Amino acid sequence: SVPLLQAERKRNSLNLLELSEAELEEQFVRGDGPGGQATNKTNNCVVLKHIPSGIVVKCHQTRSVEKNRKIAREILQEKVDLFYKGEDSDVFREKKASEKQKQEKKRRAKENLERKKLFKEMQQLDKE
């Protein structure tokens, strides 16, 4: 699972706060979870901390340290933006919009299910 909205949106459309490297503290640690020796003997998990806000992100989505560093920075940037801007954040707005779409999809699916149920009942009555 990818935190927040990183995987489901276009990065360029958001107006996120910029992070400076001086504000970041980076560590490389051993990852955990499935993967056996490839996970247990390599330090490819990235722990990134934004010092002013105290927000910490841990990323171990790939085997590559460079990819994990990039993903961790993207996730941290979204979290910091959300932390400072709150409801004015583009991340917050997109999250709310996707939740609304999901609810609408559920509602339509429920309506369709009810329609099918009624149709089957009508067919049963016609057969009798």
Going by C-alpha positions, the residue among 49, 14, 9 that lies closest to residue 29 is 49
* Contact (CB, 8 A) for 74 and 91: no
What share of the chain in percent tops pLDDT 90?
A: 38
Pairing of strands 55-59, 24-29: unpaired
Return d(Cα 55, Cα 51) in angstroms, integer.
7
What pLDDT band is residue 38 in, cutting at 50, 70 and 90?
low
In sequence order, the 6+-apart residues with CB closer than 8 A to the CB of 1 are none
What pLDDT band is residue 31 in, cutting at 50, 70 and 90?
confident
Kindly report the pTM of this predicted structure.
Answer: 0.62
List, in sequence order, every residue forming a beta bridge with 48; answer none if it has no partner.
26, 57
At 38, the amino acid letter reads A
Q: Enter the DSSP assignment of 69.
A: H
